[in-house]
Chain A
Amino acid sequence: MSSTAGPGSGTTSSSEEAPDILDTQSYVNAASLQFLLQELVPTSIRVSHKLADTNTLLSLADKDETSTIDKPLSSIPNDLPGTVNVLDLAALDQDDVSLRVEAYGYTLGLKLAELLLYKNTRFAGTGGPGSKIVDILDIMKFVCRDVWKCLYNKQMDNLRTNHRGTFVLVDNNYKLISSLSSPKGIHDTVSKAKVHLWFPCGIIRGILKSFGVDGNVTAEITQFPVVTFNIYTSINN
């Protein structure tokens, strides 16, 4: 492994800095997305649990129902609004839950590449990174810089490759898990945080796919909250 690029530790900055006169970009509160993403894993568990139920066809809703504070969210024990007991079930059908979380990311990744490239081509000539993507390493740099900046207001901290299609991307403080802290201790925190990581894995796989590259993306927590993404492609670079 040799180091080919170190985007450096991107610092969080306000998205409204350096406004472009042509840029009609609109924004929402980052907390809104954070709250939404926090529900991905519990929702995936509930959906998996519901679909695994042999009586699914009978138990699917035939009318709209509204949530209330004392109405269980699923048939999982103690799964009430505001609780986290549902997360303890994750280990039971981990594969199905992981696939579901990954798929949310993949769908987003496919569309996100389109969005970011469209924005970049609008400013062709201004040196936007989208205008000079020619090989796999450019795609990885696009993920490290543009995609991560859009998602987390920071860049990936490190990018390495073996020049045979394998890439390692490191985020030293991965935002989606950095605020997680389990009452049951660090071991529980790490094991539950891992499920969340299928979301960014899916995003990266979706981005690659939108450039016509098939890849396999996995993530590991090296030292919480440092996350290492391992990307395997069949392209020699």
Chain B
Amino acid sequence: MSKKGDDIWKNVDKINSELFTLTYGSIVAQLCRDFNHNYHEVNNQLDQMGYNIGIRLIEEFLSRTGAQRCQSFKETVEVITKLGFRVFLNIQPAVENWSSDGRSCSIVLPEPNPLNEFVEIPPTKDLWYCQILCGILRGALQMIQLDVDVNFVKDTLKGDDKTEIRLKLNKILKDEVPAGED
């Protein structure tokens, strides 16, 4: 799958990753100013932006990769890290800490990554600087009928030892039924 990720990456239009970092940074910085450093509100706006992006980005992802439905949640997470993160952000996070039922795991982002490089945030425990990623993942997975909880649990910007996103599969959604059918 890593090989496939490399092949797709070769053919996408690319931009300077620092430009991306600075653009994202200017968005977060301004949201912090706008909401007078109410970081819950900032997290929520970033999550919403991400969610909207996710439900569009999934179509780009499927079109680019021709990915098919996975056999298990483990495979889904492998596709997210080896193809998803690779193709969009040119990074390949690690997957750790699977729960015994195979429904929860952690995605650990490499350091630095294209969102958090050169960032110095005010010392607050409340801001999840990369929250947009959780929204993107949740939105994208919703569109392929996976109801998944996605949250940050650790962030090196807060002094943690790593930047870790926790995923938990709640349920697999059923196809919607047309009106009048049952």
Which A39-85 residues have C-beta < 8 A from chain B?
39-40, 42-43, 46-47, 51, 60-69, 73, 81-82
Beyond A31-B13, A43-B45, whether A67 also contacts B135 by CB under 8 A is: yes
Contacts of B35 in A (CB 8 A): 47, 60
A27 touches B30 (CB 8 A): no
How many A residues touch the partner, as a band? 35 or more
Interface centre among B48, B57, B60 (most CB of A within 10 A): B48
Tell me if A108 counts as interface (CB < 8 A to partner B): yes
Contacts of B73 in A (CB 8 A): none
A81 touches B89 (CB 8 A): no
Give the distance in Å from the alpha carbon of A7 to the alpha carbon of B38 in the complex.
45
Which A1-44 residues have C-beta < 8 A from chain B?
12, 14-16, 25-33, 35-40, 42-43
CB distance from B9 to the nearest CB of A (A): 8
Contacts of A65 in B (CB 8 A): 44, 47
Give the distance in Å from the alpha carbon of A199 to the alpha carbon of B23 in the complex.
11
A66 touches B138 (CB 8 A): yes
CB distance from A175 to the nearest CB of B (A): 10
A27 touches B90 (CB 8 A): yes
B24 touches A12 (CB 8 A): no
Which B residue's beta carbon lies closest to that of A69? B142
Which residue from A15, A28, A51, A73 sits with its C-beta under 8 Å from B88? A28
A82 touches B52 (CB 8 A): yes
Which residues of A are interface residues toward B (Cβ below 8 A)? 12, 14-16, 25-33, 35-40, 42-43, 46-47, 51, 60-69, 73, 81-82, 100, 103-105, 107-108, 111-112, 115, 150-151, 153
Give the distance in Å from the alpha carbon of A31 to the alpha carbon of B88 in the complex.
7
Which residue from B16, B31, B40 sits with its C-beta under 8 Å from A62? B40
Which residues of B are interface residues toward A (Cβ below 8 A)? 9, 12-20, 22-27, 29-31, 34-35, 38, 40-41, 43-45, 47-53, 55-57, 60, 87-90, 114, 128, 132, 134-135, 138-139, 142, 149-151
A81 touches B16 (CB 8 A): no
B43 touches A64 (CB 8 A): yes
Which residue from A60, A108, A150 sits with its C-beta under 8 Å from B41? A60
Contacts of B14 in A (CB 8 A): 14-16, 27-30
Which A residue's beta carbon lies closest to that of B36? A60
A66 touches B47 (CB 8 A): yes
A37 touches B13 (CB 8 A): no
Which B residue's beta carbon lies closest to that of A105? B26
CB distance from A187 to the nearest CB of B (A): 25
Which 8 residue pairs are nearest across A and B when measured between Cβ atoms?
A: A67-B51, A107-B26, A27-B14, A30-B13, A61-B40, A15-B14, A39-B49, A108-B26
